[in-house]
Structure 1
Amino acid sequence: MALLLFLVVCLVLMTGIPVAFALAGTALWFALIGSLFGVFDWAFVTALPNRLYGIVSNQTLMAVPLFVLMGVILERSKLAEELLGAMAQLFGRVRAGMAISVMLVGALLAASTGIVGATVVTMGLMSLPVMLRRGYDPSFSAGAICATGTLGQIIPPSIALVLLGDVLSSAFQQAQLKSGIFSPETVSVGDLFAGAIVPGLMLVGAYILYTLWLSWRKPDSFAPLTDQPWQASLLPKLLMALLPPLLLIALVLGSILFGVATPTEAAAVGAFGALMLALGKSRLNRAELSGALKETVRITAMVFMILIGASLFSLVFRGLGGETLIHELLSGLPGGVIGATLAVMLLVFLLGFILDFIEITFVVVPIVAPSLLMMGLDPVWLGVMLALNLQTSFLTPPFGFALFYLRGVAPKGLTSGALYKGVVPFIVIQLLMMLALAFWPELATWLPNKIYG
């Protein structure tokens, strides 16, 4: 019945019913049916109030609305326009300079907002028409914007990493409890932030190298923006556009990584800094602030409603023996821990077509992570791999969320076929990044070990 519950939930979610109610409603029906057949104990459902109290009193999850507020304010303050203009001037004489500017600005936006949809839509509206007018290949232009937008999943401070950090921390404690091995080590959001920095930067570097290689092969499709020499008089404008967001990101990340502040405290500093930055540029009036606060409340309410529904689902799933069944299935797969990890990564990748990262984080990760951690996987490595995996599924045709975001704002001349063709090379790059991470886990674990010992 546990596996049937999981399959039915996936089918119900595909009908368009709100995720939180789909999870909670389906779980309650299965709990009722299970109790009628004597295979479910209602004590699991009565544990829900304690679980909800743990959610609302969770210090780490308090960072979610603050990071969302930071991202929404930066998005509404037109920061991307200034950044893109400054980068375009900096790389204007370089072949493929516009594409490189889009990737660097997208990476900065990803680090600033952590919201994939916002980054893809913003970059699509601003840069896609310009790239097409400059003679860039439509497929490449669309693929570059989609791929850059999904960096919000992996480059910290990412909301996905905040949620994964909290879930993996609980899974790590469960794994220790079940294995009977207790250690003072734990996994935190700061660990995941540190672990994601190197893979995230490598991914940006790989995108740029691929772009430079393409511009070398097809120089006519990547014309420079200008033939005029770079002028030193542009430096103050460039610094004014780059320094504020870079300082804000460095302040938020640095305070977390070096233990000066908790993720929640750093998120509060980030939200306040974004507010001051927007006010300093006279980009945030009363109406914009009201809109930003309402958007923050909407996104936060959605996240926590899904978390409540996922908590009920997880209790019923456990009560039906699903946790034990999943552990036996993963343990019995050929190849041991490698086979189990591959199976989980494939499942997460496929579910990324129909579910958002929030649902996967709250529903799937708590089910599979304890078993994988009991097999000896490093929780930081697992968290970074899951984030990269979700990022890849967000790009993969025909269901990738990033494709839908860009399709909604793209010019009419851009066909779905061209969009799908454009993202394929970037999907390959991300799969190669996951492969590199599988062979060299130190790419994710070296920096956390260096910082935290």
Structure 2
Amino acid sequence: MMMFIFEYAPIAMFLLLLLLLFLGVPIAFSLAFVGVFFALIMWGIDSTSLLTSAVWGVMNNFTLLAIPLFILMSVLLEKTNIIADLFDSVYKWSGGLRGGLAIAAIVVGAIIGAISGVVAAGVIGLGLIALPQMMKYKYNENLSLGSIMAGGTLGQIIPPSLNMVVYGAITGVSVSSLFAAGLGAGFLLIFLFIIYILIRAYHREDMAPALAKEDRATFKEKVESLRSIALPLLLIIIVLGSIFTGIATPTEGAAVGVFGTILIGFGTKRLDWKKTKEAIHESTKMTGMVGWILIGAAAFSAVFSGVGGNQFVSEMAQLAPGGKWGVLFFSLAFIILLGMFLETMALIMLAAPIISPIIVNAGFDPLWWAVVFMVVLQMAFLTPPFGFAIFYLKSAVGAKVGIDKIYRATIPFITIQLIATIILILFPILAVWLPNLLNK
């Protein structure tokens, strides 16, 4: 009986996890419960040493110190209303185009991602600021909702990304190189999103009309609007420049970003001590949530590995037809499937230690695979039923938009992300050209 349980434990662990998620149990506690439950069944009370060792190994990782710093940076930026200024500036320049407001959402989402690396800030901020403007000018609802979610989730692939920090810490891939590689993939996605919006807008005039001439900004107003994005862009250059050039580690770069955000906030008189204390309080709560997810995922992963789960998945991959390409497409399908149900950090903690060694052993470049992993992970934010960007946007729009409409709006942009993944597979140089250049 015990041998039977052990043999099918990896499958049973995932089935129990999915059951708990469908019952509404938070992801962190679902992961922790499944890990502890199966550890006690398989090895009894002696399993506590395995669990504590796994959790301590994750929480004692220096690279992960960047997470609370980037979260604090994101919340501080939200308090200064920089997102509203960014959108105002970009849409003044793009308003004369059909689809200009949707393009502005994509561009501003990328800039927010490059400043904070937190997806929630991008999706919620754009949902509150950009969506009312699109509705005012009678944009197609599907296009409006989809562009906000697509733009907001660019913080997943545009550095500095919290998920890149976690992936690098778990797999040993250089976070600095991953940040640099993420820029190439990010620009590819931005380009594809904008091309799609323009095709839809110019195919049907009522899909995303250009602003009326009387509503468009004058050239003087356009130039003046650039003042609002000068300091945030300078902050991006300082943070990413210090990391790419090796002056600072990602953790130190995050600290520089927090300091720079505070200087911008107080220098422009948009930040005071009250808002700063509120930001610290909110970021502490968010960091605690992330910490519990990492703890739960570490417990689950340790037990899953202990019952032979890693070997089980590896053998499944090896059975896929097509050699190393079969292994690659099995791995992508595995991540996409998990992404429908799991929060992205939990997905990294579970999938990266299992799948990444399989891919590297098949002969693929670990940095290239890390970028492909991140693009697929971005897709997970949009993939029903548990895509987190869907629920971030729902929390921003409230009862104004039904969840079914938000689900439908994700479909074209998920398709574009699949196309981007295929392009990166066919032309891997697009993912690694910048880190290769910087390492010369």
In the superposition, the TM-score normalised over structure 2's length comes to 0.91
The Cα of 1:262 is off from its aligned counterpart by 0.5
**What residue number does 1:172 align with?**
none
Distance 1:323 1:97, change over 3 A: closer
For 1:272, the aligned partner's letter is: F
Match of 1:358 in 2: 345
Amino acid at match of 1:77: T
Distance (whole Å) between structure 1 residues aligned to residue 380 and residue 234 of structure 2: 31
Query: Is the alpha carbon distance of 1:51 and 1:445 closer, same or farther for their aligned partners in structure 2, counting shifts above 3 Å?
Result: same
Q: Compare 206-215 and 268-277 and name the one that shifted more.
A: 206-215
Query: What residue is the counterpart of 1:31 in the other structure?
Result: 39
SS of corresponding position for 1:408: helix
| Equivalence for 2:3 | none
Q: Are residue 144 (structure 1) and residue 142 (structure 2) matched?
A: no
**1: distance between equivalents of 2:408 and 2:17?**
32
2:17 paired with 1:9: yes
Match of 1:20 in 2: 28
Q: Tell me, yes or no, if structure 1 residue 215 matches structure 2 residue 195.
A: no
* Contact 1:69 1:293 (C-alpha < 8 Å) held by counterparts: yes
Q: Do the aligned residues in 1 keep the contact of 2:92 with 2:222 (CA within 8 Å)?
A: no
Between 1:426-435 and 1:405-414, the stretch displaced more is: 405-414
User: CA RMSD of the aligned region, Å?
Assistant: 2.2
Q: State which of 110, 114, 117 in structure 2 corresponds to 1:114.
A: 117
Distance 1:20 1:142, change over 3 A: closer
Does 2:297 correspond to 1:310? yes
User: Which of the numbers 251, 257, 278 marks the counterpart of 1:270?
Assistant: 257
Following superposition of structure 1 onto structure 2, how do residues 195-206 of structure 1 map, counting pairs within 5 Å?
A: 195-206=181-192
Q: Deviations over 1:158-181 (max 9, x none)?
A: 111111111121xxxxxxxxxxxx
Structure 1 moving runs of 4+ over 6 Å: none
Counterpart of 1:166 in structure 2 is 169
The answer to whether the 8 Å contact 1:120/1:406 transfers is yes
**Please, which of 102, 106, 121 is the counterpart of residue 103 of structure 1?**
106
Tell me the amino acid that sits aligned with residue 29 of structure 1.
F
Most deviating of 354-363 and 86-95: 86-95
Q: Distance in 1 between matches of 2:35 and 2:200?
A: 50
Whole-Å Cα distance in 2 between the matches of residues 303 and 418 of structure 1?
29
Q: Do structure 1's residue 343 and structure 2's residue 330 form an aligned pair?
A: yes
Give the AA of the match of 1:211.
I
Match of 1:180? none
Identity in percent: 39
| 1:425 matched residue in structure 2 | 412
Deviates more, 1:413-422 or 1:286-295: 413-422
1:310 Cα deviation after fit:
2.2
The residue correspondences of 1:352-431 to structure 2 (distance < 5 A) are: 352-410=339-397, 412=399, 414-431=401-418
Residue 431 of structure 1: how far off its partner (Å) = 0.9
Indicate whether 1:283 and 2:283 are aligned. Answer: no
State how far apart, in whole Å, the 1-side matches of 2:353 and 2:69 are. Answer: 24
- Equivalent residues of 1:165, 1:188 under 8 A apart: yes
Distance 1:22 1:235, change over 3 A: closer
Partner SS state of residue 25, structure 2: coil
1:440 alignment counterpart:
427
User: Which stretches in structure 1 are left out of the alignment for 5+ residues?
Assistant: 170-186
Paired with 2:287 and 2:157, the residues of 1 have a C-alpha distance of: 20
Compared with structure 1, are the counterparts of its residues 224 and 24 closer, same or farther at alpha carbon in structure 2 (3 Å cutoff)?
A: closer
- Specify the code of the residue in structure 2 equivalent to 1:374: N
State the Cα distance separating 1:150 from its structure 2 match. Answer: 1.2
Contact 1:129 1:411 in 2 (8 A): no
Alpha-carbon distance in 2 for matches of 1:386, 1:249: 24
Which amino acid is 1:25 matched to?
Answer: F
- 1:281 shift after superposition: 2.0
Tell me, what secondary structure is at the counterpart of 2:396? coil
2:231 alignment partner, one of 244, 260, 265: 244
Point out where structure 2 has 5 or more consecutive residues left out of the alignment. Answer: 1-5
User: How many pairs align?
Assistant: 431
Tell me the amino acid that sits aligned with residue 100 of structure 1.
I
Aligned residue for 1:335, secondary structure, equals coil
Give the CA deviation at 1:194.
Answer: 1.1
Deviation at 1:10, TM superposition (A): 3.0
- Worse-matched range after superposition: 93-102 or 247-256: 93-102
- 1:136 is displaced (CA, Å) by 1.0
CA contact (8 A) 1:388 1:430 kept: yes
Partner-residue secondary structure (3-state), 2:247: coil
